[in-house]
Amino acid sequence: MRSTKMHPQLSCEACKSRENSLFGVLCHAQLTDISENKSCTLYRKGQILFHEGTRPLGVFCINQGKVKVYKLGYDGKEQIVHVAGQGGILGYKALIAEEPYSVSAETLDDCTICFLPRQSFLEAVSKSPELNQRILKQVCHELGVMNENLTNQAQRTVRERLAITLLKLRDTYGMDYHDDSTIEINLTREDLANMVGTATETLIRLLHEFKEDKLISTQGRKISIDDAKGLAKEANLY
């Protein structure tokens, strides 16, 4: 595996990812403080940012790329909790709670990621009511998503869960838009199966069925959604 490399320092104020992050509410002086204390690193695909059970030393801010956040089951199998993209900030909940990480994080592609040490992040939180409010809003949103995922896991079929997962990836983490209904998703079949909560063999069979129904098309690892309305029907969303 290729090693990480230090990346030329990125200014928080000029960062295009900041507006989509928790730090989008910070003023010029606060952004200057963060810029002076953070470091930026190029991570290669497949590198670990942190392991479940370890103590957080700061927060990770994704400038470019995507990171999978997952838990390991007793059998060692991954359960992907979510995929974080540009503007995502990882590790802040464990840091604020003063607890070990409850999940692990691994890069899905080459990523540029900034790291802000614990004390610098906590100082920014203590000085900004707006940041506090945005963190609270984000935590509440994630709890809602978690509850929805638990309900889907318990009450929906694997076919429905796969359709929902593909639609969510299209809406949030899609790549290379061609038109309103076609996007590309670059995930391994094993990763996608872990997100859905099924065996890789089952996932491959269902993807083949979706292709036969002309809902999707594939090229290597990439999946293009050709009929979003059809997928929504498969998911019983309407």
Residue 129 to residues 92, 124, 221, 225, Cα–Cα distance (Å): 16, 10, 43, 41
CA-closest candidate to residue 81, choices 156, 184, 150: 150
Any idea where the domains of the chain sit in the sequence?
5-153, 157-234
pLDDT of residue 219: 80
Q: What CATH number belongs to 5-153?
A: 2.60.120.10
pLDDT of residue 179: 52
In angstroms, the CA 167 to CA 216 distance is: 11
pLDDT of residue 172: 73
Q: How many helices (H) and strands (E) does the chain have?
A: 8, 12
In angstroms, the CA 232 to CA 238 distance is: 7
In angstroms, the CA 181 to CA 206 distance is: 20
Query: Can you tell me whether residue 60 is helix, strand or coil?
Result: strand
CA-closest candidate to residue 113, choices 174, 50, 170: 50
pLDDT of residue 131: 95
Q: Which CATH class is domain 157-234?
A: mainly alpha
Please state whether beta strands 111-117 and 184-186 pair in parallel, antiparallel, or not at all (unpaired): unpaired
pLDDT of residue 117: 97
Q: What is the pLDDT along the chain (238 residues), one digit of tens a residue?
A: 445 555 556 788 888 888 878 998 998 899 999 999 999 999 999 999 999 999 999 999 999 999 999 998 888 888 898 899 889 999 999 999 999 999 999 999 899 999 999 999 999 999 999 999 999 999 998 888 888 888 877 889 999 999 999 988 887 765 544 554 555 556 789 999 999 989 999 999 999 999 999 999 888 877 888 898 999 999 887 6
**Do 5-153 and 157-234 share a fold?**
no
pLDDT of residue 180: 47
